[in-house]
Amino acid sequence: MSSADLREVEVAIVGAGFSGLGTGIALDRVGLRDWVILEDGDGVGGTWHWNTYPGVAVDIPSFSYQFSFAQRADWSRTYAPGRELKRYAEDCADAYGLRDRIRFSTRVERAAWSAEDNRWILTTAGGAVVRARFLINGSGVLTTPNLPNIPGVESFAGRTLHTARWDHGVDLVGQKVGVIGTGASAVQLVPEIAPQVAALTVFQRTPIWCFPKADVRLSGAARRALRTSAGRSAGRLLGQAFVEVTFPLAAHFHTRFPLAGRMESVAKAWLSSQVRDPETRAKLTPAYGVGCKRPSFHNGYLATFNRENVHLETEAIDEITPTGIRTRDGVEHPLDVLVLATGFKGVESDNIPTYDLVGESGETLGEFWDRNRAQAYQGVSVPGFPNFFTVFGPYGYNGASYFALIEAQTHHIVRCLTRAREVGADRVEVTAAANDRYFAEMMRRRPTQVFWQDSCSRANSYYFDQHGDVALRRSTTWGAARESRTFDLDDYQFTGAAVGARR
Ligand code: NAP
């Protein structure tokens, strides 16, 4: 269904990933049913719709990587493969009656605030115009594939694939394949394709800390246990506790709980146990502390470098040529297929959201952040951008399960919209004072984080933005959930012709 038939709606949601679906569910719950989701792709699931490369799977335990109110008992493994998460998204869209309000293949290119009538005017790539009282951004963060700025990248005459746009029609069997990048996507892809290809060269710029993963098939007994509420609660508690200790506690409270050093010992021992050749081991050992960039979890990645047909190349890439890759030492690496495992645009001013968002002053949100550094009240709202809320914003996400983020942020948003409805407001805007206070609080808290150790300068980590900030929320998951329920609604101004009348 296109957006051509749609002109006016109370709430426009951008993105039908789990953020957008979770927002739709949360709005329906409080009777705010006049919403639409505008989605670029032709299916739901966001990350799990677009990322279908071989080996794709979640690296947060499935028991906590799901909505608390829609827990599954039938995950096949402790860490679900991507196709099960895509299926889960489909099931949520059906079970919660969302599908008929999703407009697929509708890419929002611009949203501009109209102060005259307190509405957002959205323009889509197809030229449709949608007017919405409220705009909720669920376009995620790791959304837009990053093409490396390597000379000649367009000139390669063989097949070029990006992990986030995998073409399953390309047969890798017997091919000479080069993979650029060693982030989480490559870590999952490399062991999966290595046995099929004739030769695999992995071009590594910065090694990644790789940990073993408690990734096991769930037995019949485990699945039966998950069908009981006690079993589900126990699984969720264990999964969440593991995530909480390994990310929020280790990263944000590093000076109080110096777990990163111990984690480094675990990762080094794992590396020693997996890779036979000492030179390769040395090349795979990061020169930065655990936590400076997102680590990976995989049981087969490191051992893949023992294979005869796999080569780890750490010489810098000079150029991509029509026939392969030339490294700085002058060596030509002939390739049939080039895989770009080069990640995504990150917390960059032109990437959150993935479209131009023009606020009250005519400035875009990106320009606002360029000028003021990335910031958003509770990671949700920004002064000067009335009636706009984002599920993922600066200092909203603490790095744990994305679903915990979605549930907390949509709770925040729903509180605002419910208050607006109660008082008859057609304009809701966070105050500059509240935003400043929150940002100052985030700055006050950050010295305890792991990101400020000297070795992070060697990590090349996408956590750091152009200002050198890491816009993650220094909070436990429970702390963030609590704040979404207790923040002061007077941090927002609710205005509009009907406000006085209804109060
Ligand atoms: P990434 O972590 O950003 O890794 C990109 C890789 O490409 C890095 O190794 C980077 O090297 C390299 N690279 C980029 N440009 C390059 C260039 N011009 N020359 C040479 N190398 C270049 O991307 P990703 O692996 O797609 O993962 C992104 C994030 O997605 C993860 O951190 C994770 O949050 C999420 N993810 C999660 C899962 C999961 O849950 N299982 C799976 C995949 C992804 P440098 O390090 O030197 O920059």
Residue 491 maps to which CATH number?
3.50.50.60
Residue 323 has pLDDT above 80, yes or no: yes
* The pLDDT value given to residue 352: 76
The helix or strand, by DSSP H or E, that contains position 319, with its residue range, turns out to be strand 317-321
Most ligand 1 atoms within 8 A of CB, residue of 18, 185, 347 to mutate: 185
Is residue 231 assigned to a domain?
Answer: no
Is residue 379 assigned to a domain?
Answer: yes
* The pLDDT value given to residue 498: 76
Residue 180 sits in the same domain as residue 270: yes
- Nearest residue (CA) to ligand 1, atom 43: 185
Chain segment 358-415, per-residue pLDDT in tens? 999 999 999 999 999 999 999 999 999 999 999 999 999 999 999 999 999 999 999 9
Ligand 1 center–CA 15 separation, angstroms: 22
Is residue 270 assigned to a domain?
Answer: yes
- Nearest residue (CA) to ligand 1, atom 28: 343
Find all residues with CB under 8 Å of 139, minimum gap 6, and list them.
14, 15, 19, 108, 352, 353, 354, 355
Ligand 1 center–CA 66 separation, angstroms: 23
Residue 199 sits in the same domain as residue 321: yes
Q: What does DSSP assign to residue 42? A: S
Residue 208 sits in the same domain as residue 171: yes
Residue 54 sits in the same domain as residue 88: yes
Is residue 440 assigned to a domain?
Answer: yes
Ligand 1 within 6 A of CB of 124? no
User: What's the helix, strand, coil split of the chain in %, to 5?
Assistant: 35, 20, 45
* The pLDDT value given to residue 212: 97
Ligand 1 within 6 A of CB of 149? yes
Ligand 1 within 6 A of CB of 148? yes
How does the average pLDDT of the chain come out, rounded? 95
Is residue 153 assigned to a domain?
Answer: no
Residue 124 is encoded by which pair of tokens?
A: 């889509």
Residue 183 sits in the same domain as residue 330: yes
Axis crossing angle, helix 477-486 with helix 229-244, rounded to the nearest 10? 110
Most ligand 1 atoms within 8 A of CB, residue of 60, 79, 205 to mutate: 205
Residue 371 sits in the same domain as residue 488: yes
Residue 357 sits in the same domain as residue 333: no
Total residue count of the chain as it appears in this document:
503
- Nearest residue (CA) to ligand 1, atom 18: 148
Residue 49 sits in the same domain as residue 169: no
* The pLDDT value given to residue 1: 44
Which of 21-25, 234-238, 481-485 has the least mean pLDDT? 234-238
Residue 140 sits in the same domain as residue 175: no
> Which single residue is written with the structure tokens 């998204």?
89
Residue 349 has pLDDT above 90, yes or no: no
Q: Which of 320, 340, 360 is the last residue of a domain?
A: 340
Q: Which atom of ligand 1 is nearest to the CA of 342?
A: 7
Q: Which of 340, 362, 386 is the last residue of a domain?
A: 340
**What residues make up the domain containing 307?**
159-216+254-340
Is residue 189 assigned to a domain?
Answer: yes
232-246 burial, b at 16+ Cβ within 10 Å, e below that, comes to beebbeebbeebbeb
Ligand 1 within 6 A of CB of 180? yes
CA–CA gap between residue 167 and residue 263 (Å, rounded): 36
Most confident region among 1-10, 94-103, 239-248 by mean pLDDT: 94-103
Q: What does DSSP assign to residue 100? A: G
- Nearest residue (CA) to ligand 1, atom 19: 148
Residue 334 sits in the same domain as residue 471: no
Residue 334 sits in the same domain as residue 350: no
Q: Quick count: other Cβ atoms within 10 Å of Cβ 38?
A: 29
Ligand 1 within 6 A of CB of 59? yes
Ligand 1 center–CA 59 separation, angstroms: 14
Residue 363 sits in the same domain as residue 495: yes
Mean pLDDT, range 291-315, rounded to an integer: 97
Ligand 1 within 6 A of CB of 375? no
pLDDT band at 96 (very low <50, low <70, confident <90, very high): very high
* The pLDDT value given to residue 243: 93
Q: Which of 340, 360, 384 is the last residue of a domain?
A: 340
Is residue 83 assigned to a domain?
Answer: yes
Residue 40 has pLDDT above 60, yes or no: yes
Residue 346 has pLDDT above 80, yes or no: no
- Number of domains making up the chain: 2
Is residue 429 assigned to a domain?
Answer: yes
Ligand 1 within 6 A of CB of 58? yes
- Nearest residue (CA) to ligand 1, atom 25: 183
Ligand 1 center–CA 327 separation, angstroms: 20
**322 closest CA partner among 339, 334, 330, 309:** 334
Residue 85 has pLDDT above 60, yes or no: yes
Q: Are 435 and 377 in contact (CB under 8 A)?
A: yes
* The pLDDT value given to residue 501: 60
Ligand 1 within 6 A of CB of 340? no
Chain segment 213-232, per-residue pLDDT in tens? 999 999 999 989 989 989 98
Ligand 1 center–CA 338 separation, angstroms: 16
Q: Which amino acid is at 341?
A: A
Chain segment 175-196, per-residue pLDDT in tens? 999 999 999 999 999 999 999 9
89-124 burial, b at 16+ Cβ within 10 Å, e below that, comes to bbebbeebebeebbbbbbbbeebbbeeeebbbbbbb
